[in-house]
Amino acid sequence: MDYFLNEDQKAIRDLARKIAQERVMPVRAELDEKEEFPWGPLKYLADVGLFGVYIPEEYGGLGYGSFENCLAIEEISRACIGVSVSFAASGLGSYPFLLFGSEEQKKKYLPDVASGRKLAAFGLTEAGAGSDAGGIRTTAKRDGDAYILNGTKQWITNGGEAELYSVIALTDKAKGPRGASAFLLEKGLPGFNFGKKEKKLGIRCSATRELVFEDCRVPKESLIGREGMGFIVAMRTLDKTRPGIGAQAVGLAQGAFEAAVEYARERHQFEKPIISFQAVSHILADMAAEIEAARALVYAVARWVDTNPKDISRYSAISKLFPTDVAMKVTVDAVQIFGGYGFMRDYPVEKMMRDAKILQIYEGTNQIQRNVIGQSLIKEYASKPH
Protein backbone atom coordinates (compact mmCIF):
# COMPACT_ATOMS: atom_id res chain seq x y z
CA MET A 1 0.00 0.00 0.00
CA ASP A 2 1.19 3.48 -0.84
CA TYR A 3 0.38 5.93 1.94
CA PHE A 4 1.70 8.87 -0.05
CA LEU A 5 4.53 9.69 2.31
CA ASN A 6 6.57 12.71 1.35
CA GLU A 7 10.36 12.47 0.92
CA ASP A 8 11.10 13.50 4.53
CA GLN A 9 8.65 10.94 5.90
CA LYS A 10 10.14 8.19 3.71
CA ALA A 11 13.60 9.14 4.94
CA ILE A 12 12.51 8.91 8.60
CA ARG A 13 10.83 5.54 7.99
CA ASP A 14 13.83 4.15 6.10
CA LEU A 15 16.31 5.34 8.71
CA ALA A 16 14.32 3.72 11.53
CA ARG A 17 13.92 0.54 9.44
CA LYS A 18 17.65 0.32 8.78
CA ILE A 19 18.52 0.68 12.47
CA ALA A 20 15.81 -1.81 13.42
CA GLN A 21 17.14 -4.39 10.96
CA GLU A 22 20.83 -3.87 11.56
CA ARG A 23 21.01 -2.90 15.22
CA VAL A 24 17.88 -4.24 16.92
CA MET A 25 17.03 -7.57 15.28
CA PRO A 26 20.46 -9.16 15.89
CA VAL A 27 20.35 -8.41 19.64
CA ARG A 28 16.64 -8.55 20.52
CA ALA A 29 16.58 -12.18 21.75
CA GLU A 30 19.66 -11.68 23.91
CA LEU A 31 18.38 -8.39 25.38
CA ASP A 32 15.09 -10.14 26.18
CA GLU A 33 16.80 -13.16 27.72
CA LYS A 34 19.16 -11.06 29.84
CA GLU A 35 16.50 -8.42 30.59
CA GLU A 36 19.14 -5.86 29.69
CA PHE A 37 18.24 -2.23 28.99
CA PRO A 38 18.80 -1.52 25.24
CA TRP A 39 21.32 1.32 25.50
CA GLY A 40 23.12 0.01 22.40
CA PRO A 41 20.18 0.30 19.95
CA LEU A 42 18.96 3.52 21.59
CA LYS A 43 22.34 5.13 20.97
CA TYR A 44 22.04 4.43 17.24
CA LEU A 45 18.55 5.99 17.22
CA ALA A 46 19.94 9.00 19.10
CA ASP A 47 22.90 9.43 16.73
CA VAL A 48 20.61 9.88 13.71
CA GLY A 49 18.31 12.31 15.56
CA LEU A 50 15.20 10.13 15.75
CA PHE A 51 14.51 11.04 19.40
CA GLY A 52 13.78 14.55 18.19
CA VAL A 53 11.34 13.76 15.37
CA TYR A 54 8.33 15.43 17.09
CA ILE A 55 10.27 18.20 18.84
CA PRO A 56 10.29 21.68 17.20
CA GLU A 57 13.55 22.73 15.54
CA GLU A 58 13.95 25.69 17.90
CA TYR A 59 14.43 23.16 20.73
CA GLY A 60 16.87 20.99 18.82
CA GLY A 61 14.40 18.57 17.20
CA LEU A 62 13.58 17.75 13.59
CA GLY A 63 10.32 19.69 13.75
CA TYR A 64 7.87 17.03 12.55
CA GLY A 65 4.83 15.66 14.40
CA SER A 66 3.05 12.61 15.80
CA PHE A 67 2.72 11.08 12.36
CA GLU A 68 6.45 11.02 11.66
CA ASN A 69 7.06 9.80 15.22
CA CYS A 70 4.60 6.95 14.57
CA LEU A 71 6.51 5.99 11.40
CA ALA A 72 9.72 5.66 13.43
CA ILE A 73 7.98 3.79 16.27
CA GLU A 74 6.34 1.35 13.83
CA GLU A 75 9.66 0.40 12.23
CA ILE A 76 11.47 -0.13 15.55
CA SER A 77 8.48 -2.17 16.79
CA ARG A 78 8.74 -4.50 13.81
CA ALA A 79 12.00 -5.64 15.37
CA CYS A 80 11.38 -5.31 19.13
CA ILE A 81 8.75 -3.72 21.32
CA GLY A 82 11.13 -3.67 24.30
CA VAL A 83 13.37 -1.28 22.38
CA SER A 84 10.54 0.72 20.83
CA VAL A 85 8.79 1.33 24.14
CA SER A 86 12.04 2.61 25.67
CA PHE A 87 12.28 4.98 22.71
CA ALA A 88 8.60 6.01 22.72
CA ALA A 89 8.40 6.43 26.51
CA SER A 90 10.87 9.29 26.23
CA GLY A 91 8.22 11.02 24.10
CA LEU A 92 5.56 10.24 26.69
CA GLY A 93 7.78 11.70 29.41
CA SER A 94 8.59 14.85 27.47
CA TYR A 95 5.16 15.76 26.06
CA PRO A 96 4.01 17.30 29.40
CA PHE A 97 6.70 20.01 29.21
CA LEU A 98 6.59 20.23 25.41
CA LEU A 99 2.85 20.95 25.58
CA PHE A 100 2.60 22.86 28.85
CA GLY A 101 6.12 23.79 29.98
CA SER A 102 7.52 27.30 30.34
CA GLU A 103 9.89 28.67 27.71
CA GLU A 104 12.75 28.18 30.19
CA GLN A 105 11.85 24.53 30.76
CA LYS A 106 11.60 23.86 27.03
CA LYS A 107 14.90 25.56 26.26
CA LYS A 108 16.67 23.87 29.14
CA TYR A 109 15.40 20.31 28.72
CA LEU A 110 14.05 19.59 25.21
CA PRO A 111 17.41 19.75 23.35
CA ASP A 112 18.75 16.91 25.53
CA VAL A 113 15.61 14.84 24.87
CA ALA A 114 15.77 15.57 21.13
CA SER A 115 19.39 14.49 20.90
CA GLY A 116 18.74 11.36 22.96
CA ARG A 117 21.42 12.50 25.45
CA LYS A 118 18.75 12.21 28.12
CA LEU A 119 15.76 9.86 28.25
CA ALA A 120 12.49 11.06 29.74
CA ALA A 121 9.82 9.14 31.66
CA PHE A 122 6.22 9.74 32.72
CA GLY A 123 5.13 9.19 36.32
CA LEU A 124 1.38 8.99 36.77
CA THR A 125 0.44 5.43 37.80
CA GLU A 126 0.48 4.32 41.44
CA ALA A 127 -0.30 1.03 43.17
CA GLY A 128 -3.86 2.21 43.88
CA ALA A 129 -4.29 4.42 40.81
CA GLY A 130 -4.05 2.63 37.46
CA SER A 131 -7.19 3.00 35.36
CA ASP A 132 -8.46 5.33 38.08
CA ALA A 133 -5.70 7.84 37.41
CA GLY A 134 -7.58 10.48 39.39
CA GLY A 135 -6.98 8.40 42.55
CA ILE A 136 -3.27 9.21 42.93
CA ARG A 137 -1.94 9.78 46.46
CA THR A 138 1.54 11.23 45.86
CA THR A 139 1.62 14.73 47.33
CA ALA A 140 3.60 17.88 46.55
CA LYS A 141 3.34 20.31 49.45
CA ARG A 142 4.33 23.93 48.89
CA ASP A 143 7.08 25.09 51.26
CA GLY A 144 8.38 28.59 50.54
CA ASP A 145 10.11 28.54 47.16
CA ALA A 146 9.89 24.78 46.89
CA TYR A 147 7.56 21.78 46.83
CA ILE A 148 8.12 18.66 48.92
CA LEU A 149 7.11 15.41 47.26
CA ASN A 150 6.08 12.25 49.07
CA GLY A 151 4.69 9.05 47.57
CA THR A 152 5.47 6.19 45.19
CA LYS A 153 4.85 5.89 41.46
CA GLN A 154 4.58 2.36 40.11
CA TRP A 155 5.54 0.62 36.83
CA ILE A 156 7.27 3.62 35.32
CA THR A 157 8.76 2.84 31.91
CA ASN A 158 12.39 4.05 31.66
CA GLY A 159 12.37 4.40 35.48
CA GLY A 160 15.94 4.57 36.75
CA GLU A 161 17.39 4.89 33.22
CA ALA A 162 15.81 8.25 32.37
CA GLU A 163 17.30 11.54 33.53
CA LEU A 164 14.04 13.53 33.31
CA TYR A 165 10.69 12.70 34.90
CA SER A 166 7.27 14.27 34.42
CA VAL A 167 5.48 13.42 37.65
CA ILE A 168 1.87 14.06 38.63
CA ALA A 169 1.26 14.79 42.33
CA LEU A 170 -1.46 16.34 44.45
CA THR A 171 -0.85 19.93 45.51
CA ASP A 172 -4.35 20.07 47.01
CA LYS A 173 -5.49 16.71 48.33
CA ALA A 174 -9.00 17.94 49.07
CA LYS A 175 -9.68 18.71 45.40
CA GLY A 176 -8.82 15.21 44.10
CA PRO A 177 -7.88 15.19 40.38
CA ARG A 178 -8.47 18.97 40.18
CA GLY A 179 -5.83 19.37 42.89
CA ALA A 180 -3.18 17.53 40.85
CA SER A 181 -0.13 19.29 39.43
CA ALA A 182 2.66 18.22 37.07
CA PHE A 183 6.37 18.50 37.91
CA LEU A 184 9.54 18.10 35.91
CA LEU A 185 12.17 16.39 38.02
CA GLU A 186 15.76 15.42 37.38
CA LYS A 187 17.26 12.13 38.46
CA GLY A 188 19.63 12.48 41.40
CA LEU A 189 17.52 14.82 43.56
CA PRO A 190 17.86 13.98 47.27
CA GLY A 191 14.79 12.02 48.34
CA PHE A 192 14.09 10.70 44.82
CA ASN A 193 14.94 6.99 44.57
CA PHE A 194 14.01 3.98 42.44
CA GLY A 195 12.58 0.55 43.19
CA LYS A 196 13.99 -2.65 41.71
CA LYS A 197 13.58 -3.41 38.00
CA GLU A 198 10.33 -5.37 37.59
CA LYS A 199 10.42 -8.87 36.07
CA LYS A 200 7.88 -8.98 33.25
CA LEU A 201 6.11 -11.35 30.84
CA GLY A 202 7.20 -9.32 27.81
CA ILE A 203 9.13 -6.18 26.78
CA ARG A 204 11.71 -7.63 29.12
CA CYS A 205 14.63 -5.44 28.07
CA SER A 206 12.70 -2.29 28.91
CA ALA A 207 13.04 -0.83 32.40
CA THR A 208 9.98 -0.70 34.65
CA ARG A 209 10.59 0.65 38.14
CA GLU A 210 8.99 2.49 41.04
CA LEU A 211 9.79 6.15 41.63
CA VAL A 212 10.00 6.69 45.38
CA PHE A 213 9.72 10.20 46.83
CA GLU A 214 10.62 10.75 50.47
CA ASP A 215 10.58 14.42 51.45
CA CYS A 216 11.99 15.20 48.02
CA ARG A 217 12.43 18.98 47.82
CA VAL A 218 12.16 20.53 44.36
CA PRO A 219 12.31 24.20 43.38
CA LYS A 220 8.98 25.80 42.51
CA GLU A 221 10.24 26.24 38.92
CA SER A 222 9.80 22.44 38.54
CA LEU A 223 6.05 22.95 38.22
CA ILE A 224 4.77 22.33 34.67
CA GLY A 225 1.99 24.78 33.82
CA ARG A 226 -0.05 25.93 36.79
CA GLU A 227 -1.03 24.30 40.07
CA GLY A 228 -4.18 22.22 39.59
CA MET A 229 -3.51 21.52 35.90
CA GLY A 230 -1.77 18.18 36.46
CA PHE A 231 -4.64 15.92 35.47
CA ILE A 232 -5.25 17.87 32.26
CA VAL A 233 -1.51 17.76 31.49
CA ALA A 234 -1.57 13.97 31.94
CA MET A 235 -4.71 13.42 29.86
CA ARG A 236 -3.62 15.71 27.02
CA THR A 237 -0.26 13.94 26.98
CA LEU A 238 -1.95 10.56 26.66
CA ASP A 239 -4.19 11.92 23.88
CA LYS A 240 -0.99 12.77 21.99
CA THR A 241 0.84 9.52 22.58
CA ARG A 242 -1.85 6.85 22.20
CA PRO A 243 -1.50 6.76 18.37
CA GLY A 244 2.13 5.83 19.12
CA ILE A 245 0.92 2.72 20.96
CA GLY A 246 -1.16 1.95 17.87
CA ALA A 247 2.03 2.30 15.83
CA GLN A 248 3.85 -0.09 18.18
CA ALA A 249 1.02 -2.57 17.59
CA VAL A 250 1.13 -2.20 13.80
CA GLY A 251 4.91 -2.70 13.73
CA LEU A 252 4.78 -5.71 16.04
CA ALA A 253 1.95 -7.32 14.05
CA GLN A 254 3.81 -6.68 10.79
CA GLY A 255 6.94 -8.32 12.20
CA ALA A 256 4.93 -11.37 13.32
CA PHE A 257 3.16 -11.56 9.95
CA GLU A 258 6.44 -11.47 8.03
CA ALA A 259 7.91 -14.20 10.23
CA ALA A 260 4.76 -16.33 9.76
CA VAL A 261 4.75 -15.93 5.95
CA GLU A 262 8.43 -16.83 5.75
CA TYR A 263 7.92 -19.91 7.89
CA ALA A 264 4.79 -20.97 5.95
CA ARG A 265 6.79 -20.82 2.69
CA GLU A 266 9.63 -22.92 4.08
CA ARG A 267 7.80 -25.45 6.20
CA HIS A 268 6.67 -28.52 4.25
CA GLN A 269 4.04 -30.97 5.46
CA PHE A 270 2.16 -33.51 3.35
CA GLU A 271 4.84 -32.75 0.72
CA LYS A 272 3.78 -29.13 0.24
CA PRO A 273 4.74 -25.79 1.76
CA ILE A 274 2.11 -25.12 4.41
CA ILE A 275 1.30 -21.71 2.87
CA SER A 276 -0.44 -23.60 0.05
CA PHE A 277 -3.06 -24.98 2.46
CA GLN A 278 -6.23 -22.95 2.72
CA ALA A 279 -6.26 -23.43 6.50
CA VAL A 280 -2.99 -21.50 6.73
CA SER A 281 -3.58 -18.98 3.95
CA HIS A 282 -6.86 -17.90 5.54
CA ILE A 283 -5.08 -17.14 8.81
CA LEU A 284 -2.51 -15.10 6.86
CA ALA A 285 -5.30 -13.36 4.92
CA ASP A 286 -6.97 -12.22 8.15
CA MET A 287 -3.63 -11.01 9.47
CA ALA A 288 -2.91 -9.03 6.30
CA ALA A 289 -6.38 -7.44 6.25
CA GLU A 290 -6.37 -6.49 9.95
CA ILE A 291 -2.82 -5.12 9.92
CA GLU A 292 -3.57 -2.91 6.91
CA ALA A 293 -6.77 -1.63 8.53
CA ALA A 294 -4.83 -0.87 11.72
CA ARG A 295 -2.04 0.89 9.84
CA ALA A 296 -4.47 3.03 7.82
CA LEU A 297 -6.24 3.98 11.06
CA VAL A 298 -3.03 4.90 12.93
CA TYR A 299 -1.76 6.98 10.02
CA ALA A 300 -5.07 8.79 9.60
CA VAL A 301 -5.42 9.57 13.33
CA ALA A 302 -1.76 10.60 13.74
CA ARG A 303 -2.09 12.99 10.81
CA TRP A 304 -5.32 14.31 12.26
CA VAL A 305 -3.80 14.75 15.73
CA ASP A 306 -1.07 16.86 14.13
CA THR A 307 -3.52 19.18 12.43
CA ASN A 308 -6.34 19.28 15.03
CA PRO A 309 -4.81 19.60 18.47
CA LYS A 310 -8.17 19.86 20.27
CA ASP A 311 -10.80 17.21 21.02
CA ILE A 312 -8.66 14.33 19.92
CA SER A 313 -9.46 11.94 22.79
CA ARG A 314 -11.98 9.79 20.94
CA TYR A 315 -9.87 9.12 17.88
CA SER A 316 -6.66 8.85 19.85
CA ALA A 317 -8.31 6.11 21.94
CA ILE A 318 -9.62 4.39 18.78
CA SER A 319 -6.11 4.41 17.29
CA LYS A 320 -4.80 2.60 20.39
CA LEU A 321 -7.72 0.20 20.89
CA PHE A 322 -8.10 -1.43 17.50
CA PRO A 323 -4.43 -1.96 16.50
CA THR A 324 -3.45 -3.39 19.90
CA ASP A 325 -6.26 -5.96 19.77
CA VAL A 326 -5.09 -6.78 16.22
CA ALA A 327 -1.48 -7.21 17.42
CA MET A 328 -2.57 -9.62 20.15
CA LYS A 329 -4.56 -11.74 17.70
CA VAL A 330 -1.92 -11.64 14.97
CA THR A 331 0.91 -12.69 17.28
CA VAL A 332 -1.14 -15.56 18.75
CA ASP A 333 -1.91 -16.70 15.19
CA ALA A 334 1.75 -16.38 14.17
CA VAL A 335 2.67 -18.80 16.97
CA GLN A 336 -0.08 -21.13 15.69
CA ILE A 337 1.34 -21.11 12.17
CA PHE A 338 4.77 -21.99 13.55
CA GLY A 339 3.13 -24.86 15.48
CA GLY A 340 5.46 -26.46 18.05
CA TYR A 341 8.39 -24.41 16.79
CA GLY A 342 6.43 -21.25 17.59
CA PHE A 343 6.44 -22.24 21.24
CA MET A 344 10.23 -22.51 21.30
CA ARG A 345 12.47 -19.58 22.20
CA ASP A 346 14.65 -20.35 19.15
CA TYR A 347 12.06 -18.59 16.98
CA PRO A 348 11.01 -14.95 17.35
CA VAL A 349 7.23 -15.30 17.53
CA GLU A 350 6.85 -16.46 21.14
CA LYS A 351 8.55 -13.22 22.24
CA MET A 352 6.26 -11.23 19.96
CA MET A 353 3.21 -12.87 21.54
CA ARG A 354 4.52 -12.09 25.04
CA ASP A 355 5.31 -8.51 24.05
CA ALA A 356 1.87 -7.96 22.48
CA LYS A 357 -0.05 -8.35 25.74
CA ILE A 358 1.19 -5.14 27.34
CA LEU A 359 -0.11 -3.10 24.39
CA GLN A 360 -3.67 -3.87 25.51
CA ILE A 361 -2.79 -2.68 29.01
CA TYR A 362 -0.39 0.27 29.13
CA GLU A 363 -1.24 3.93 28.45
CA GLY A 364 -4.78 3.02 29.49
CA THR A 365 -6.23 -0.50 29.24
CA ASN A 366 -8.39 -1.23 26.22
CA GLN A 367 -11.40 -1.22 28.54
CA ILE A 368 -10.48 2.38 29.47
CA GLN A 369 -10.15 3.23 25.75
CA ARG A 370 -13.72 1.97 25.29
CA ASN A 371 -14.78 4.19 28.21
CA VAL A 372 -13.10 7.22 26.62
CA ILE A 373 -14.74 6.52 23.25
CA GLY A 374 -18.11 5.77 24.89
CA GLN A 375 -18.04 8.95 27.01
CA SER A 376 -17.26 10.99 23.93
CA LEU A 377 -20.19 9.41 22.07
CA ILE A 378 -22.54 10.04 25.00
CA LYS A 379 -21.38 13.67 25.13
CA GLU A 380 -22.02 14.13 21.43
CA TYR A 381 -25.25 12.17 20.99
CA ALA A 382 -27.11 11.68 24.29
CA SER A 383 -28.76 15.09 24.33
CA LYS A 384 -29.18 15.52 20.57
CA PRO A 385 -32.82 15.85 19.55
CA HIS A 386 -34.11 12.93 17.44
Catalytic amino acids? 363
Smallest separation, CB 82 to ligand COS (Å): 16
Q: Pick the piece of the chain touching ligand COS (CB under 6 A) from 39-47, 167-175, 318-326, 365-373.
A: 365-373
Q: Is 73 helix (H, G, I), strand (E, B) or coil?
A: helix
β-bridge partners, 132 = none
Quick check: 210 binds ligand COS (CB under 6 A)? no
Least Å from the CB of residue 239 to ligand COS:
5
Q: Which residues contact 74 (CB under 8 A, 6 or more apart)?
A: 13, 16, 247, 248, 250, 251, 254, 295, 298
29-32 contacts: CB < 8 A, separation 24 or more? 29/345, 29/348, 29/351, 31/80, 31/82, 31/83, 31/204, 31/205, 32/80, 32/82, 32/204, 32/205, 32/351
Cα–Cα distance, 165 to 185 (Å, whole number) = 5
In the complex with ligand COS, which residue's Cβ is closer, 105 or 316?
Answer: 316
Give the residue, chosen from 139, 150, 371, 376, that forms a contact with ligand COS under the rule CB under 6 A: 371
Instruction: Calculate the CA 17 to chain-centre distance.
Output: 18
231, 263, 322, 338: residue in contact with ligand COS (rule CB under 6 A) = 231
Per CB under 6 A, does 139 bind ligand COS? no
Question: Does 245 contact ligand COS by CB under 6 A?
Answer: no
Alpha helices in 267-339 (DSSP H): 278-307, 313-338
How many binding residues for ligand COS (CB under 6 A)? 21
CB atoms within 10 A of CB 225: 18
Shortest approach of ligand COS to residue 107 CB, angstroms?
A: 26
Give the residue with the Cβ less far from ligand COS, 44 or 183: 183
181 binds ligand COS (CB under 6 A): no
| Residues lying near ligand COS in the complex (CB under 6 A) | 122, 124-125, 131, 133-134, 177-178, 231-232, 235-236, 238-239, 313, 362-364, 368, 371-372
